[in-house]
Each structure stands twice: as structure tokens, then as C-alpha cells.
Amino acid sequence: MRIAVIALQGDFERHIVRLGEIGADVVSARLPSDIDSADGIVLPGGESTTIGKLMIRYGIDAAIKRAHAAGKPIYGTCAGMILLASEIAAETAEHGGQPVLGLMDLTVARNAYGRQIDSFESTLTDARLPGLPDGGKNLEAVFIRAPAILRAGPTVDILASHEGRPVLVRQANLLASSFHPELTKDTRVHEYFLSMAER
């Protein structure tokens, strides 16, 4: 199972480490060909505007859309989730708009979890990851200037929530989280993602 972690900017290294720990063959992807040869893709956290612009510059956006059309699983964390979303709440988007892939039926608000508490940890008691230990319950989640999901379309499945808002969602071969599972020792979200790539 070869997973391409988009390595243009942001927190890609921890994803590479975590996926390697659970047995994936991981490529640090900077070229469209790195994506074309992979079975799945991870879009890391970072700065969504920067990653979005670099994706277009290097033709990575088109390669990700090809992978999506081919049914390959794609997982976006934090900034990666913003890039997958179909809509960014206008008041939180970069002035003049910002590039997104628009693959997932979500409306997200950037930096939505408060200015004072830019980062926090929480245990997601209602998390549901079929086939994984404890069914995915009690997932450790780290939020860093995290985006909130304001709206999830009818084909989006909510796999975990925090204070009534979805924070881990799936739509067919797309997975997205507001939080960063790569920063904890709990590898269940990454394992779940690999199980999506196996099918």
C-alpha cells in the first residue's frame, strides 16, 4: 500500500512517521507523478492558502482530482480538510478568495475554535471507526487553529464530533478531520484510512 503525503508545506513529516509505523509504504509527494503512482493521498495540516497556491503551481491539484476520480482514498487533516471542502465561510477565507479542491460536500470556517485557545486536546468519546480497537471510541484529538465544519452534506458520514460539531467525517473515498491524529500515539485514524485504501 503506497501512500503519497503531500509535502509542499506544513505538518507532513509526522504523517509520514505514523503511516510508516503501521506498515504503509510512504512517499513524500512534491510532483504529480508521486501522486499518480500512489494508492492513497494524505493532505496535511499547515497553512491552507499556501498549500493551495503551491498545489496549483506544481500541478498537484489536477493529480489529486485524477486520483479522486479513480476512487483512491484521500485524507485531509486541518488545512487539508479546508482544501477538500466545497465551501469556505466567506468571512474566514483569505481576502480575494483561496484555492480549494472542492471535492467534499462541506462548509468549513477557518480558525474557528477561538483566538485565545488556539490549541487544545480533547478525547472524542463518540468516535466510531468500524473494525478498529474499541470501535474507535475515545480518540485523542489535538486541535491547532482548527477549522470547524459548519455544514456537512447528506452523503457525508459523521465519524466523530466535539461539542456537537462534526470533527471527523467521511464521504465515499474522502476522509477529513479538524484535528491532527498524527501528533498523538493513537494510530487508529491512520489505520482506518489505510483500510479505505485496501478496498
Catalytic residues: 78, 180, 182
Only one of the segments 19-27, 32-40, 141-149, 185-193 lies at the binding site for ligand GLN (rule: CB under 6 A); that segment is 141-149
CB of 131 to ligand GLN, least distance (A): 27
Query: Taking CB under 6 A as the rule, does residue 46 contact ligand GLN?
Result: yes
Query: Taking CB under 6 A as the rule, does residue 45 contact ligand GLN?
Result: yes
Q: Which is nearer to ligand GLN, 15 or 110 (CB)?
A: 110
Q: Which is nearer to ligand GLN, 18 or 110 (CB)?
A: 110
| Degrees to nearest 5, angle at CA 117 with 94 and 89 | 30
End-to-end CA distance of the chain: 11
- Kindly state the number of chain residues that form the binding site for ligand GLN, as judged by CB under 6 A: 12
CB of 46 to ligand GLN, least distance (A): 5
Only one of the segments 24-32, 45-53, 130-138, 150-158 lies at the binding site for ligand GLN (rule: CB under 6 A); that segment is 45-53
Q: Please give the single-letter amino acid code of residue 193.
A: F
Query: Taking CB under 6 A as the rule, does residue 111 contact ligand GLN?
Result: yes
**Residue with smallest beta-carbon separation from ligand GLN:** 45
Q: Helices (H) and strands (E) in the chain — how many of each?
A: 6, 12
DSSP state letter for 115: S
Q: State whether residue 150 is helix, strand or coil.
A: strand
Are the C-beta atoms of 34 and 20 separated by less than 8 Å?
A: no
CA distance linking residue 26 with residue 18, whole number of Å: 10
Q: State whether residue 50 is helix, strand or coil.
A: helix
Among residues 120, 108, 176, the alpha carbon closest in space to that of 148 is found at 108
Binder among 6, 24, 144, 174 for ligand GLN (CB under 6 A):
144
Binder among 19, 79, 85, 103 for ligand GLN (CB under 6 A):
79
CA distance linking residue 192 with residue 177, whole number of Å: 13
Q: Which is nearer to ligand GLN, 136 or 147 (CB)?
A: 147
At which residue does the C-alpha cell 480575494 appear? 96
Q: Which is nearer to ligand GLN, 11 or 132 (CB)?
A: 11
Radius of gyration of the chain (CA): 15
What is the binding site for ligand GLN (CB under 6 A)? Answer: 45-48, 78-79, 82, 110-111, 144-145, 147
